[in-house]
């Protein structure tokens, strides 16, 4: 998962888009859950912090995708169950 700025020189700035680097299956599996998490207000501290830095929406979405991947990996490695209270919507 890699957000990348599309730039052609110094004066022309394009929209930030998600590049094709990385695992395609992982990107596609995490995209919709990240959209739902963003719309439902999960990870509000992360979203507010990135919005304060004027980050584009796609960068915020990729940050949520990465956060979901980290949580899933942690639960898998530790063998723990998901605690819904820990990531409750604001």
> pLDDT tens across 6-39, in order?
666 666 666 666 677 778 898 889 999 999 999 9
Assigned domain for 4 exists? no
The pLDDT value recorded for residue 13 is 67
pTM: predicted TM-score of the whole model, two decimal places: 0.79
Assigned domain for 50 exists? yes
Assigned domain for 78 exists? yes
Number of domains, the chain: 1
> pLDDT tens across 35-76, in order?
999 999 889 999 999 999 998 888 899 999 999 999 999 999
First and final C-alpha spacing in the chain: 26
Question: Could you tell me which residue, 84 or 32, shows the higher pLDDT?
Answer: 32
CA distance to 6, 24, 29, 40, 74, per residue, from 21 (Å): 14, 8, 15, 28, 23
**What mean pLDDT is predicted for residues 77-86?**
86
Distance CA 30, CA 36 (A): 10
Q: Which domain holds residue 90?
A: 23-90
């Amino acid at each position: 998962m890699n957000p990348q700025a599309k730039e052609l020189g110094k004066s022309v700035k394009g929209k930030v888009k998600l590049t094709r680097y990385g695992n395609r299956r992982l990107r596609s599996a995490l995209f919709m859950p990240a959209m739902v998490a963003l719309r439902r207000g999960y990870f509000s501290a992360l979203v507010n912090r990135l919005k304060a830095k004027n980050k584009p929406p796609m960068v915020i979405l990729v940050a949520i995708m990465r956060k979901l991947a980290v949580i899933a990996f942690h639960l898998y490695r530790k063998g723990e169950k998901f605690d819904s209270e820990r990531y409750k919507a604001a």
